[in-house]
Structure 1
Amino acid sequence: MKKVYSVVLLIFALMLSACSSKDNETDASQTEANSESPQSEGATNLGNVDSQKNLFSVEVTIPAQFYEISESGPLSQEDVDKAVSELSIKSGVLNDDGSVTYKMSKAQHEEFLKSYKDSVNSTISDMLNDENNESLTDITYSDDLTQFTISVDGEKFSMFDMFNALAFYIEGTYYQLFNFVPIDDVDVQVDFINKDTGEVIETTRMSEMNSTEEISTVTE
């Protein structure tokens, strides 16, 4: 069983399956008008994640650090344009510092977050239904994607199974960044529990990964 999932494939799979609804012309005109209107709720700088929320629009800047750990090579504007087209959002700009600024309506943003969880569910389904899977029996997650719980067969569980946490590190991080969590506050915890006893076998946290990006574990 391939325990280490291609991060590049994950990112683009998530983008492809995320929100697909497009703004109609009325909503677009309202958004443009509102961006120049004094009715704006104001701009907020959330650590390294910049967000600007108007009455009808949302602007999110995903910091370069995220792409540095999740891509096999540097992003191009062409990559961003492709994502924007497939996400059916207003625009995306690759900034000089490597960050990417996305603009979308509030409705698109809400739909993105909702549809994103469909992608997470798809990833979970693939893991559980893999013909070579022997130990994983169930996977659940918190609503804010900060914590994932993986139930395993205690007799078949091995340390190699812990590499499944890598997929959820990426998915949890991306969701939190789009949900306006500062990158310094982003963290994802994955608990491996014995399906029969409920005992926590291992806990891994993204924040405890070392510089070589190996999984650092905390034994409960």
Structure 2
Amino acid sequence: MIRKNLFSFLFIIALLAACSGANEDKADQDAAGKENADENSEEIEVDKGLLNVEITLPATFFEDEEDLNKTIADAEKDGIEATKNKDGSLTYKMSKKKHKEMLQEMKTEMVSTIDEMKNGEDYPSIKDITYNDSFSDFTMIVDKEAFENSFDAFATFGLGLSGMYYQLFSGVDPEGYEVKITVEDAATKETIDEVIYPDALEEMEEEEGEGEDQGHAGSHTVG
């Protein structure tokens, strides 16, 4: 539930931001349709052809049929072909130029968000954030005492999701990608914490499921 809602939200924001400024010529799009994705797949598929790039999102990324239809309509308003597959997944088709623009816009938004995290007022313990070009490795440099006595650890969540998303839409193998976030004490250079995504998401979902199970069990307890 956590991954589905946030991924869907982040993708729509990035997609619309990247495509709002330009309309691609329909002649640049390949007429061949994409085969339906495996109904058991829960991965983003990126197919880079000679002229076009196709990105397939699994059905689990959408809340319901209405959500899926709205996503299609929004994409088509911005000149991106969107096809609903029989298994409920959604395939976007765009020119390589459009795909490059989308990735650049995602990168720009990520850099802006990172700058806000380290320079804004929302995460006062964070002194700096460094990262590599593929957004697969981040180091958060923090004031240890302030960090451990605040909720600033939530910043790793945003970095992890953003990094995962950027890699997947760049075409990184969904079976092998990861984002590592190291939290480092500014004074001693000591590693305070290390978070690996998507492992952290899976752990969160497991904990969420266990909490729901315990809640159901508790509701049957007779006092």
Q: Is TM > 0.5 for Structure 1 vs Structure 2? A: yes
Count residues with an aligned counterpart.
192
Range with greater deviation from structure 2 (189-198 or 108-117): 189-198
**Which protein has greater RCO, CA pairs closer than 8 Å, 6+ apart?**
1
Residue 23 (structure 1) shift: 4.3
**Contact kept? 1:49, 1:177, Cα under 8 Å:** yes
CA distance in 2, matches of 1:129, 1:58: 36
Counterpart of 1:105?
A: 95
Q: Pick closer, same or farther for the CA change 1:59–1:15 going to 2, 3 Å.
A: closer
Counterpart of 1:148?
A: 138
Range with greater deviation from structure 2 (124-133 or 161-170): 124-133
Counterpart of 2:27?
A: 29
Q: Pick closer, same or farther for the CA change 1:79–1:22 going to 2, 3 Å.
A: same
Matches within 5 A, 1:154-193: 154-158=144-148, 160-193=151-184
Q: Pick closer, same or farther for the CA change 1:162–1:98 going to 2, 3 Å.
A: farther
Unaligned 5+ residue runs, structure 2? 208-223
Q: Pick closer, same or farther for the CA change 1:211–1:30 going to 2, 3 Å.
A: closer
Q: Pick closer, same or farther for the CA change 1:139–1:94 going to 2, 3 Å.
A: farther
2:105 to 115, 121, 137: 115
Residue 17 (structure 1) shift: 2.9
Residue 52 (structure 1) shift: 3.0
Q: Pick closer, same or farther for the CA change 1:22–1:95 going to 2, 3 Å.
A: same
Q: Pick closer, same or farther for the CA change 1:128–1:89 going to 2, 3 Å.
A: farther
Q: Pick closer, same or farther for the CA change 1:145–1:132 going to 2, 3 Å.
A: closer
Instruction: List, as ranges, runs of 4+ consecutive aligned residues in structure 1 with deviation greater than 4 Å.
Output: 8-12
Q: Pick closer, same or farther for the CA change 1:208–1:53 going to 2, 3 Å.
A: closer
Residue 90 (structure 1) shift: 2.1
CA distance in 2, matches of 1:84, 1:149: 38
Residue 51 (structure 1) shift: 3.3
